Structure 1
């Protein structure tokens, strides 16, 4: 479902990625672990089309991502990819329901349909009674679950998660781990996760280790 071949990336003289190959199958949860500076987040951002490699090729559902530019790339990303980051990046002036709905609005889905889907996700994540709350009225764990719902709103092929538990306490981190497992099992949702959290990595179907810009195991 996701395949990347010989991904390289330099920043100035610093060689961050040195020819990375990776494949992720539909419905698989894969974690990438490694020390800081190993290139994990850079790889994730390139695979998620937020950055471009210096060389190499990426396919998602047999679509060559390298061929997409501008609005076509943005539309492809919105339709096929969901993101969860360490910091939730919720818009403070919008309610939980509205924050979740934004990618659906961008996709041009009818607003009533988006609202129905957003409420379904809020209920699934145990946040139905928080729909009208703004981010500053939510706990850190609740904010991150809203961010997960936002990532799911367009029913993406894959979710990229960059240190999703890095800003959570242990109890909320454990809840998020369980949620990812539930989403994988119930919806056959595909995940690629960068994490330092060994418990989250242990829940994955596979764990890849990165060191010095390459996957070593």
Structure 2
């Protein structure tokens, strides 16, 4: 489903990625763990088309995505890839519902359909009564669930999550772990997660270990 071959990336003289190969199947939850500076987030951003590799190839559902540029790349990313980041990145002037709707609006889906889908997702995530609240009126755990709903709105092929529990307390982190597991088990959602959280990694189907810009092991 997702395949990358020989991904390299340098920043100046610093080699961050030194030829990474990775393959993820549909409906699989895969975690990448490793010490800070190992290259985990850089790899995630490249696979998610937020950054470009210096060399290597990336395919998502047999579509070569490392060569896409400009509007074609933005449209592909919006429709096929969802993102969940450590700090939520919700727009403060918009309600929870509006934040969830934004990728659907960008995709050009009918506004009524986007709103109905967003309300369904917020309900599924236990946020029906928070739909009209703005981010500063939500707890950290609620904001992260809004971010998950936003990532799901266009029914993406894969969700990339970069330290999704890094800004949450232990209770909210465990709730997010359960949510990811439910989305995988019930909806066959595919995840690639960068995390330092051992409990979240343990829920994954596979854990990949990075060190010094390469994947050194996987279970």
1:23 and 1:198 mapped to 2: Cα distance?
Answer: 22
Superposed, 1:1-217 pairs within 5 Å as 1-217=1-217
Question: RMSD between aligned alpha carbons?
Answer: 0.3
Offset at 1:111?
0.4
In the alignment of these two chains, the number of paired residues is 217
What are the Cα deviations for residues 26-69 of structure 1, in whole angstroms up to 9, with x where unaligned? 00000000000000000000000000000000000000012211
What are the Cα deviations for residues 66-97 of structure 1, in whole angstroms up to 9, with x where unaligned? 22110000000000000000000000010000
2:112 and 2:211 mapped to 1: Cα distance?
Answer: 47
TM-score normalized by structure 1? Answer: 1.00
1:204 and 1:109 mapped to 2: Cα distance?
Answer: 32
Offset at 1:176?
0.1
2:49 and 2:186 mapped to 1: Cα distance?
Answer: 27
Q: Which runs of 5+ in 2 are unaligned?
A: none
1:141 and 1:68 mapped to 2: Cα distance?
Answer: 34
